[in-house]
């Protein structure tokens, strides 16, 4: 006597939306992180009030993504995303390094010297960024849930901003200090007196970005909690 196969249930619309959102949020996070590491400090941009590395334009988005992941899916899922981002960027650096060491196809390569220049700038940036990223993003996830527990789940703005502002300070000091020590900031940043204003400008930009993204955080949480279904075992506080 054969046993009938267990019935298969089609996922609901909310479950499909939940899966799609998780993939989208992860994609935004990983793309922002990777792009920020590739362009890194190859160019500094003048935003009027701030002078920042071009790579910094993408990086604050990663903190919004981990905060949304923390709020919707819990600490464990957010920390998993942080580790995935770390591994993927090491993988990215390995691929670029492979392209660097392989022989140039003379007469075919369009800009081999540009590739090598970007790679030389990118190496210390990725190493510094990954050290700072792993510390700061892990701190952000832990701080987010600390404030959530402390306020008993109230005051979204508080945990979103306090966790990000604190962790971004750690990130800014770590990455720029490592780059300065390794010479990765270029010849123009040749003293601590020149490094400190760059730190202050970069951190001020991150704080402003953190405050400005608060409405988007509220909107994302409001829409998503009404329209997704998260498996109970995926959420932890």
SS3 content of the chain, % helix, strand, coil (to 5): 75, 5, 25
Whether 2 maps to a domain, the answer reads no
Whether 3 maps to a domain, the answer reads no
Report the CATH number that the domain containing residue 27 is assigned in CATH: 1.10.1760
In terms of Cβ atoms closer than 10 Å to its own Cβ (0-12, 13-18, 19+), residue 170 is: middle
Dist. CA 67–CA 72, nearest whole Å: 9
pLDDT band at 3 (very low <50, low <70, confident <90, very high): low
Contact criterion met (CB below 8 Å) for 171 and 151 = no
Whether 214 maps to a domain, the answer reads yes
Range of the domain at 119: 13-102+110-228
pLDDT in tens, 90-122: 898 889 889 888 888 776 777 778 788 878 877
Q: What is the mean pLDDT of residues 126-138?
A: 85
Whether 176 maps to a domain, the answer reads yes
Whether 235 maps to a domain, the answer reads no
Ramachandran angles phi, psi of 20, nearest 5°: -65, -40
Dist. CA 141–CA 160, nearest whole Å: 10
pLDDT band at 43 (very low <50, low <70, confident <90, very high): confident
Dist. CA 89–CA 24, nearest whole Å: 18
Whether 224 maps to a domain, the answer reads yes
pLDDT band at 178 (very low <50, low <70, confident <90, very high): confident
Q: How many domains is the chain partitioned into structurally?
A: 1
Whether 8 maps to a domain, the answer reads no
Q: pTM value?
A: 0.77
Q: Take residue 193 and report the two structure tokens written for it.
A: 């007196």
Whether 4 maps to a domain, the answer reads no
């Amino acid at each position: 006597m054969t046993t009938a196969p267990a019935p298969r249930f089609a996922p609901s619309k909310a479950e499909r939306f939940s899966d799609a959102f998780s993939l989208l949020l992860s994609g935004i996070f990983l793309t922002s992180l990777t792009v920020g590491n590739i362009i890194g400090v190859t160019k500094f941009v003048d935003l009027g009030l701030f002078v920042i590395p071009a790579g910094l334009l993408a990086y604050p988005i990663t903190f919004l993504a981990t905060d949304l992941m923390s709020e919707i899916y819990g600490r464990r899922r957010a920390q998993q995303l942080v580790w995935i981002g770390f591994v993927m960027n090491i993988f990215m650096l390995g691929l670029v390094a492979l392209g660097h060491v392989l022989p140039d196809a003379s007469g075919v390569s369009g800009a081999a010297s540009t590739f090598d220049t970007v790679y030389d700038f990118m190496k210390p940036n990725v190493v510094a960024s990954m050290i700072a990223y792993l510390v700061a993003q892990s701190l952000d996830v832990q701080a987010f849930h600390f404030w959530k527990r402390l306020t008993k789940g109230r005051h979204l703005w508080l945990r979103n901003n306090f966790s990000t502002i604190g962790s971004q300070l750690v990130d800014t000091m770590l990455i720029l200090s490592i780059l300065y020590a390794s010479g990765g900031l270029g010849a123009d940043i040749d003293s601590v007196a020149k490094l400190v204003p760059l730190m202050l400008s970069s951190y001020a930009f991150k704080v402003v970005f953190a405050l400005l993204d608060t409405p988007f955080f509220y909107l994302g949480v409001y829409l998503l909690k009404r329209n997704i279904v998260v498996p109970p075992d995926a959420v932890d506080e």
